[in-house]
Amino acid sequence: MRQVIIVGSGPAAYTAAIYAARADLAPLVIASSVEFGGELMKTTEVENFPGFPEGIMGPELMTKMQEQAERFGAELVYDDVTKLELEGEIKRVHLGSGEVHEALAVIYATGSAYRKLGLADEERLSGYGVSWCATCDGAFFRQKKVAVVGGGDSALEEATFLTRFADTVYLVHRREELRASKAMQERAFADPKIEFLWNQEVAHIYGDEKVTGMGLVSTVDGTETTKDLDGLFVAIGADPRTHLVHGQLELAPEGTVAVRGRSSMTNLEGVFAAGDVVDPSYKQAITAAGSGCVAALDAERYLSELPAELLARAAGTAPQPQPASA
Amino acid sequence: MSARNVTDADFEAEVLKSDKPIMVDFWAEWCGPCKAVSPILDRIAEENADKIDIVKLNVDDNPETAMKYGITSIPAMYVFSDGEVKKRIIGAKPKPALESDLAEFLA
């Protein structure tokens, strides 16, 4: 049995791992089999993480966080959690391999998953022109026409990135103003390759073998138009990954895991949550890292108040008999 | 052991003329999910060495083959048998999911 298991591998999970490892809690980190490193593995330059004045590549930042956690004794497992049993004093974490790990505390930091448009042809054409990762797939669209759907930072970042390759990048947004930061907006407005399609929703994706076009519907008057297209990038936000804790952890109205005040404490004793999975508003690498730190400190305090014999079992040592007093 | 590389130049000899099913992993240096799936493919290759070959093709260095097969998203893992594409798998997936996608070739 472990003292603490951390589920996740983004900035929140790795920061929690660094703090927990430095507190001698020997955390086990379930980093997932293919999505380890989290969202930043799919980004390019990160320019707003303090301490890197020249910027740093997302995957490199995550590798450094991982190394920092391992340096202090965090152990990583590249597998996926299939089931969590979070009630009671001893928590159980089931993995894809069939292994079951036990711990006294769990830090849940699974982040969020890309939202889909919900169109019939989206799944069928996924990988054949429909994409959720401009940095992965952008280079295949040299001198082509692509569209990005969305109005937030990630949509504008993708659109700007895609102009390196594509001739035309449509930005499809259902309103006429963007949620994205000012800096991102200015960069995109100044880019001659980006064409904004305001007040439009994607209603159809066309193509047999691969994407050939999209059908748009005006959110103002319902007018339908079509555009020829080679690629469609979906960047309409993400939903917190709460499927493993449904029925166990209370959720906030926004769909994130509910935590008490500024802490990481959930409705269950010994279960802490951090990162994008608790955050409906900020969703930055640095805020996730900060909340991972909070979770590790909360877990450390919780563990320090548990009975000594439980802790001894978790540390893998039998309780030491007290020396007889003279 | 990691999978060997194939190129535009030897694609026909190595892949299309292979005498057993062969999976080509289309990848690139800058693709995070490709790096994630790579060790999983190595393990599947090792565990099923008698049934399927797994090779890698760098799409930046070998654009001709990538274009010929219409690759627009990586990692893309195409299984070839008798010179034809028999299965397309797109995107990094956990090992059990890949194994079930490949079930007909691993049986």
pLDDT band with cut points at 50, 70 and 90 for residue A326: very low
Can you tell me the distance from the alpha carbon of A86 to that of A188, in angstroms, rounded to the nearest whole number?
45
Architecture of domain B4-97: 3-Layer(aba) Sandwich (3.40)
Q: Which of B33, B40, B95 shows the shortest C-beta gap to A136? A: B33
pLDDT of residue A323: 53
Residue from the list B34, B73, B95 with its beta carbon closest to the beta carbon of A33: B95
Q: What is the predicted pLDDT for the residue at A17?
A: 98
pLDDT tens per residue across span A92-108: 999 998 999 999 999 99
- State whether B94 and A33 contact (CB < 8 Å): yes
How many other CB atoms are there within 10 angstroms of residue A70's CB atom? 16
Average pLDDT taken over every residue of chain A: 93
B31/A136 Cβ within 8 A: yes
Q: Where are the domains of chain B?
A: 4-97
Portion of chain B with pLDDT greater than 90, in percent: 73
Q: Are A42 and A28 in contact (CB under 8 A)?
A: no
- Beta bridge partner(s), residue B26: B57, B76
pLDDT tens by residue, A237-293: 889 999 999 999 999 999 999 999 999 999 999 999 999 999 998 889 999 999 999
pTM summary value:
0.80
Confidence bin at A321 (pLDDT 50/70/90): very low
User: Which of B97, B81, B55, A7 has its CA nearest to residue B89?
Assistant: B97
Which residues in chain A have their CB less than 8 angstroms from residue B35's CB?
59
Partner residues linked to B90 by β-bridges = B76
Question: What is the C-alpha R_g of chain A?
Answer: 23
Q: Which of A47-56, A248-257, A304-313 has the highest mean pLDDT?
A: A248-257
pLDDT over threshold 90, residue A154:
no
pLDDT given at position B22: 96
Cross-chain residue pair B72–A129, CB shorter than 8 Å:
yes
DSSP state for residue A126 in the 8-state scheme: B
Q: What percent of chain A has pLDDT over 90?
A: 77
Say yes or no: ipTM exceeds 0.85. no
Mutation for A interface: B26, B73, B89, B93, most A CBs within 10 A: B73
**Dihedral sign from CA coordinates of A177, A181, A187, A188:** negative
The token pair that represents B107 in the structure block = 């049986």
